[in-house]
Amino acid sequence: MTILPSAFYRRPTLTVARELIGKVFIRRLDDRLLRGRIVEVEAYHQNDDAASHSFRGRSARNDVMFRAGGLLYVYFTYGMHFCMNVVTEDEGVGAAVLLRAVEPLDGIDMMRVHRGAGKKDRELANGPAKFCQAFGIDREANGFPLDGSVVGIADAADVPSSRILATSRVGIRRSTDLPWRFLEKESPWVSPGRPSAIL
DNA sequence: CAGTCGATGTACT
DNA sequence: GTACATCGACTGG
């Protein structure tokens, strides 16, 4: 398993988003290894995307989005949840890809401790805040490099484009016309969230 | 199954 | 004040 280099992330955001489907997110925690196969993501960009945190320019909250690709951007929302993104493109460009759902691979027992006993495997990480909770990601991880030391993404076989679906994004009110959500077709591990518009 | 709604902190107007 | 890249509990069918 090779950890994706920073050059992977320093490319157009939509390309990175599509190629992240099928890759394996890795998290080291307390001498344990948590792994999950990415099945759903969304792209966000400062340009032409009013739903992006970076749309109105750089600020204390979104600063990490404007740094060079290859970092984790974690934000707090709805008073109780965290969501994580991978930062893309070059320094000065505010763009990232939201990681929305993974298929749990390793450390499922630890994920269940984080999420609460009795949760079905499908409910461990089928949504951006659930994914963060299962993998023990919170504001402390904001800005962490995706180099595999604490977090990272391992390369894996490409998912053929025939098995990738693009839809509008979930849970947003602006820029609902952009088909910037990518998911693996017919995967049981994707979030139950409904797209913001029918494309 | 679908639809509704409250929780609860923070960034921004 | 208001909106928020959400979730889980609850309702009714």
CATH class of A6-184: alpha beta
Q: Is the CB of A47 under 7 A from strand B?
A: no
Q: What is the pLDDT of residues A131-162, one digit of tens each?
A: 999 999 999 999 999 999 999 999 999 999 99
Q: Is the CB of A77 under 7 A from strand C?
A: yes
A198 pLDDT above the threshold of 80: no
| Between residues A198 and A164, the one the model is more confident about | A164
What percent of chain A has a predicted confidence (pLDDT) above 90? 96
Nucleotide nearest to A65 (CA to C1'): C5
In terms of Cα–Cα distance, which of A98, A135, A104, A133 is closest to A20?
A98
Q: Is the CB of A55 under 7 A from strand B?
A: no
A171 pLDDT above the threshold of 80: yes
Q: What is the mean pLDDT of residues A99-115?
A: 98
Query: What is the number of other CB atoms lying within 10 angstroms of the CB of residue A153?
Result: 21
What is the residue extent of each domain of chain A? 6-184
A110 pLDDT above the threshold of 90: yes
pLDDT of residue A93: 98
CA–C1' A108–B3 (A): 32
Nearest amino-acid residue to B6, taking CA and C1': A78
In three-state secondary structure terms, A126 is coil
In terms of Cα–Cα distance, which of A86, A92, A64, A126 is closest to A6?
A86
Nucleotide nearest to A172 (CA to C1'): C5
Residue pair A34/A106 in contact (Cβ under 8 Å)? The answer is yes
Which bases of strand C have any atom within 7 Å of the beta carbon of a protein residue? Answer: 3-8
pLDDT of residue A8: 98
A167 pLDDT above the threshold of 80: yes
- Distance, in Å, from the CA atom of A29 to the CA atom of A151, rounded to the nearest integer, reads 9
- Distance, in Å, from the CA atom of A155 to the CA atom of A169, rounded to the nearest integer, reads 25
In terms of Cα–Cα distance, which of A70, A94, A59, A91 is closest to A9?
A70
As given in the structure block, the two tokens for residue A11 are: 């490319």
Q: Is the CB of A17 under 7 A from strand C?
A: no
Q: Is the CB of A72 under 7 A from strand C?
A: no
Buried b (16+ CB within 10 A) or exposed e, A123-140: ebbbbbbbbbbbbbbeee
Confidence at A2, pLDDT banded by 50, 70, 90:
very high
A:72-101 Cβ neighbours of strand B under 7 Å: 76-80
pLDDT of residue A197: 85
pLDDT of residue A195: 92
In terms of Cα–Cα distance, which of A131, A156, A124, A114 is closest to A30?
A114
A169 pLDDT above the threshold of 80: yes
Nucleotide nearest to A81 (CA to C1'): C6
Confidence at A1, pLDDT banded by 50, 70, 90:
confident
Q: What is the pLDDT of residues A31-83, one digit of tens each?
A: 999 999 999 999 999 999 999 999 999 999 999 999 999 999 999 999 999 99
